[in-house]
Amino acid sequence: MANAEIVELYPSVQDQVSAEEWEMRVNLAAAYRLVELYDMSDMTRTHISAHVPGEDTFLLNPYGLMFSEVTASSLIKVDQDGNEINNTGPYKINAAGFTIHSAVHGHSKEFACVLHTHSEAGMALSAMDCGLLPISQHSMRFYNRIAYHDYEGIALDLDERARLINDLGDNKAMILRNHGFLTAGRTVAEAFSLVFYLEKCAKSQIQAMSAVGLDGLVTPSPEVCEHTAQQFERNPNFSNLDWPGHLRRLDALDPSYAS
């Protein structure tokens, strides 16, 4: 469908929700478009969710729309039991997506946005026993600050939520073994920034290992890696500097995400 048809299929709900929810919807729809724009999407698979301010609910994509088609009004509100609220379109949520995202949102309201990808670089890195290596400035951002969760099959078993959360701990980024990436942010901008740079780290690590192998990599000392990670932590809001620029880029390409 052309995006004009999507907008017709999902009329605006702006006047039916709070201003805070609408802002979250627009930002979340933007994240879907950006994941597509930066080649991190997987057809209709994978998901990005956002907590609805002031409610015990979150927003998830309709399972049937491509990421390039998601709009603010097409997003489906669900509760922690998986009940869909005010879904006006023909598509339902994806059960596996609900399992993963309800786990994180139910665990902590600190995380406004949860983002999951199946990118080629992410899947490749998720299959590496060495995991993410601190071989670049970007990767040192995640030094001792990234979690790992072993693959258990397609995430249809709600019991997996407890194990996923236990593995995530206090981290904002996770490598799902043999699966992909997951990031969680206090804002949509932060969650997107985390996965954007995690993706760059994966690509650069794969390229470096392809050139010189694991033994040929140069790794700074643990002290330098930790110092760099702390430097990133002292400036936690730089993702907010990028976000308006992302929205301007989307507005120039196709502003229908905000419909």
pLDDT in the model for residue 6: 87
Domain residue spans of the chain: 12-258
- Is 151 within 8 Å of 213 (Cβ atoms)? no
Report the pLDDT averaged over residues 174-196. Answer: 97
Report the pLDDT averaged over residues 226-247. Answer: 91
Q: Residue 4: pLDDT band by 50, 70, 90 thresholds? A: confident
Q: Closest Cα to residue 51, out of 116, 117, 110?
A: 110
pLDDT in tens, 198-232: 999 999 999 999 999 999 999 999 999 999 999 99
pLDDT in the model for residue 235: 82
pLDDT in the model for residue 117: 98
Q: Provide the 3-class DSSP secondary structure of residue 89.
A: coil
pLDDT in tens, 33-56: 999 999 999 999 999 999 999 999
Q: CA 106 to CA 58: how far, in whole Å?
A: 10
In this structure, whether the domain defined by 12-258 belongs to CATH 3.40.225.10 is answered with: yes
Q: CA 259 to CA 253: how far, in whole Å?
A: 14
Task: Record the tokens describing residue 221, joined without a space.
Answer: 């000392």
Residue 2: pLDDT over 70: no
What are residue 180's DSSP bridge partners? 176
Q: Residue 65: pLDDT band by 50, 70, 90 thresholds? A: very high
pLDDT in tens, 138-152: 999 999 999 999 999
What are residue 84's DSSP bridge partners? 78
Mean pLDDT of the chain: 95
Q: How far is CA 227 from CA 74, 171, 185, 193, 233, in A?
A: 43, 17, 22, 20, 10
Give the position of tokens 């005010």: 86
Q: Residue 1: pLDDT band by 50, 70, 90 thresholds? A: low
Residue type, 21: E
Q: CA 100 to CA 80: how far, in whole Å?
A: 11
